[in-house]
Amino acid sequence: MTRVVIDASAGVELVVDSERGRALRRLLPDDAVPWVPDHFFAECGAVLRRWDLNGVLTAEQTRRGVDELLAWPLRVVQVRGLFADAWAKRANVTFADGLYVALAAHLHASLLTCDGRLANAPTLGVPVLYSA
């Protein structure tokens, strides 16, 4: 069982099964167990809404993406316990991204992302699985 923390940039690509999502899926170990902090859903919802309103996705693609997101068997962790460690990363990453990094550190897990700034941020202290 390999723990992998999935950030929202990767999560939305995975649930809509985009080309980027398929590239990210290939990076996941066969025995990957996906973990997310609970704000993951708010971030994914915001992206899916933006893509829907801007015509990036069809209404059907958006509906399928939302359905996939809600059905995904993710292990979810509350943000409160990650707050201090995420705050400590604020000089290098956004607070929201710091929560993903903090969770990966707590779990001794890798972080799956397609966010180049996050993947290349200094002193993350966790392995990063990245696809542009």
pLDDT per residue as tens digits for the range 9-55: 999 999 999 999 999 999 999 999 999 999 999 999 999 999 999 99
CA–CA gap between residue 128 and residue 84 (Å, rounded): 21
Q: Are 88 and 123 in contact (CB under 8 A)?
A: no
pTM over 0.85: yes
pLDDT per residue as tens digits for the range 60-91: 999 999 999 999 999 999 999 999 999 999 99
Domain residues for 28? 2-130
Number of domains in the chain: 1
Q: What is the pLDDT of residue 28?
A: 97
What CATH number should be reported for the domain holding residue 69?
A: 3.40.50.1010
CA–CA gap between residue 28 and residue 52 (Å, rounded): 27
Q: For residue 10, which of 32, 87, 82 has the smallest C-alpha distance?
A: 32
Share of the chain above pLDDT 90, in %: 99
Q: What is the pLDDT of residue 62?
A: 97
Q: What is the pLDDT of residue 46?
A: 98
CA–CA gap between residue 13 and residue 23 (Å, rounded): 9
Q: What is the pLDDT of residue 130?
A: 98
Tokens at residue 52, please?
């829907």
Beta strand spans in 38-90 (E):
75-77
CA–CA gap between residue 62 and residue 51 (Å, rounded): 8
Q: What is the pLDDT of residue 92?
A: 96
Q: Are 9 and 118 in contact (CB under 8 A)?
A: yes
